[in-house]
DNA sequence: TCTGGGGTCCTAGGACCC
DNA sequence: TCTGGGGTCCTAGGACCC
């Protein structure tokens, strides 16, 4: 406590797009845009990632894909290959973990490292940072930006400010002058709403906030305000936490066209429930709760959730509960834009409620146990022969109610 | 330019219990 | 016959992040 730490933030540059360019050398130097199908400007969805060549046209992540298509009609538009990115991500994290066990993933392409205890072995933070960048480039053919600082927040700011191919070290004692000129929107946890709130108070730069007392922001922003004052001064004692349990597992789908067709809606819920349940089983988790997300044609979002008596990892259970939750959505004849299903209140499956019940008779010989066996068999078949090798009859394209 | 999909954390209000 | 205060759990929504 109080000891001076050395924290690294490692962030892959334009990760999905860079992987695509590396895997398709003919795209090197071209604007590559990873995201939804642009469908000649009619597509729904947004840009997930784009190369720096694409950014020169004004394309950005989260931009609607149709707009990106108009800004950059000659761009290479590709659908995300999440499995591939996850694979490359594992390779990146393997490299990071050779320097320390204290690696906290922030996302698929970003991590904090606490290398305080690694310095005797590998050299100071800057040396480790340079070494990581070099290995990622040499072994994976990809570019990472790295920030080195005494805490998480400063290291993240440092890696961001150097992008692309960044390498920025924040010297102890220079934290506040490093942060002061930056706009408040760069503060971690300041989004559009908070920015507007701060702006109305006449605050523009991080330096403006650093000059306040914690109480000055507490009135308008509560605990969050106190936290922001600390960050703006470069103060952040949050530890790097390597282990963390997932809190929820979800799947959602935006329709190509808004719909009110009950059959389409039920099929979609079943498909989403199956995605969620498959992931639960894959991670040996059971859900103690289910949340349904409903977004209507006017983009109004409603959620309904339920707590379960027993945990489950079966699509049939998740689907049944999702259907019940759907009955509680006051949708008054509007069309649906998006449906989502999430499993919450997760706990480890070993000795999970359902399994335990099985041990004590009746319930064990009933449908849940058989369903569980079927689910596991399907998981194995898909692992061996691919996801499309086996499908529920209810999800076949030509399936009709009552047939 | 109509706004994805995967998450996390926080808050406020009500139910319920003592 | 109208009343306190503390604590916990649950739900719904919202802000934010990548």
Quote the crossing angle between the two packed helices A367-385 and A262-282, to the nearest 10°: 80
Q: List CB-based contacts (under 7 A) with strand C.
A: A 62, 106-110, 156, 187-195, 289, 301-307, 328
Q: What does the pLDDT look like over A96-142, one tens digit per residue?
A: 999 999 999 999 999 999 999 999 999 999 999 999 999 999 999 99
- Which pLDDT score, from 0 to 100, does residue A394 have? 86
Q: How many CA atoms lie within 13 A of A398 on its CB side?
A: 0
- Which pLDDT score, from 0 to 100, does residue A356 have? 44
Task: Estimate in Å the CA A403 to C1' B8 gap, whole number.
Answer: 43
Q: What does the pLDDT look like over A10-50, one tens digit per residue?
A: 999 999 999 999 999 999 999 999 999 999 999 999 999 99
Q: Please, which positions of strand C sit below 7 A from a protein CB?
A: 10-18
- Which pLDDT score, from 0 to 100, does residue A354 have? 47
Cα A350 to Cα A368: distance, rounded to the nearest angstrom: 16
Token output for A128: 């480790």
Burial class (CB in 10 A: 0-12, 13-18, 19+), A3: exposed
Quote the crossing angle between the two packed helices A82-96 and A15-23, to the nearest 10°: 100
- Which pLDDT score, from 0 to 100, does residue A331 have? 86
Query: Could you say which residues of chain A have pLDDT below 50?
Result: 352-365, 402-403
Q: Please, which positions of strand B sit below 7 A from a protein CB?
A: 1-12
- Which pLDDT score, from 0 to 100, does residue A351 have? 52
Say whether the CB atom of A243 is under 7 angstroms from strand B.
no
> With contact defined as beta carbons under 8 Å apart, do A103 and A112 qualify?
yes
Residue A157 — φ and ψ, nearest 5°? -60, -40
> With contact defined as beta carbons under 8 Å apart, do A329 and A247 qualify?
no
């Amino acid at each position: 406590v109080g000891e001076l730490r050395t924290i690294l933030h490692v962030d892959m540059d334009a990760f999905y797009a860079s992987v695509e360019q590396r895997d398709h050398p003919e795209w090197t130097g071209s604007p590559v845009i990873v995201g939804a199908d642009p469908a000649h400007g009619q597509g729904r969805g947004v840009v997930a990632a784009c190369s720096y060549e694409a950014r020169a046209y004004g394309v950005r992540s989260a931009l609607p894909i149709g707009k990106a298509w108009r800004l950059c009609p000659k761009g290479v538009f590709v659908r995300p290959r999440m499995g591939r990115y996850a694979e490359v991500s594992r390779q990146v994290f393997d490299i990071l973990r050779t320097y320390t066990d204290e690696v906290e993933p922030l996302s698929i392409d970003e991590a904090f490292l606490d290398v305080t205890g690694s310095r005797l072995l590998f050299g100071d933070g800057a040396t480790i940072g340079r070494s990581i960048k070099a290995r990622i480039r040499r072994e994976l053919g990809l570019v990472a930006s790295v920030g080195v600082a005494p805490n998480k927040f400063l290291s993240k700011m440092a890696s961001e400010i150097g992008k692309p191919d960044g390498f920025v070290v924040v010297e102890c004692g220079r934290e506040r002058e490093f942060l002061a000129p930056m706009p408040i929107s760069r503060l971690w946890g300041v989004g559009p709403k908070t920015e507007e709130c701060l702006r109305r108070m006449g605050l523009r730069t991080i330096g403006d906030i650093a000059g306040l007392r914690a109480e000055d922001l507490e009135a308008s922003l509560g605990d969050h305000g106190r936290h922001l004052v600390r960050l703006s001064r470069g103060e952040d004692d949050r530890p790097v936490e390597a282990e963390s349990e997932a809190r929820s597992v979800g799947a959602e789908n935006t329709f190509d066209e808004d719909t009110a067709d009950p059959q389409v809606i039920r099929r979609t819920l079943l498909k989403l429930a199956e995605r969620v349940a498959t992931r639960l089983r894959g991670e040996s988790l059971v859900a103690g709760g289910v949340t349904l997300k409903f977004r209507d044609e006017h983009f109004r979002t409603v959620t309904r959730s339920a707590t379960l008596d027993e945990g489950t990892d079966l699509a049939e259970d998740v689907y049944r509960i999702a259907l019940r939750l759907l009955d509680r959505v006051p949708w008054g004849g509007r069309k649906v834009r998006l449906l989502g299903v999430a499993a919450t209140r997760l706990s480890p499956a070993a000795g999970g409620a359902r399994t335990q019940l099985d041990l004590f008779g009746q319930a064990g010989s009933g449908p849940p146990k058989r369903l569980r066996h079927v689910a596991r068999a399907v998981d194995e078949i898909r692992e061996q022969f691919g996801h499309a090798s086996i499908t529920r009859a209810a999800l076949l394209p030509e399936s009709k109610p009552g047939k």
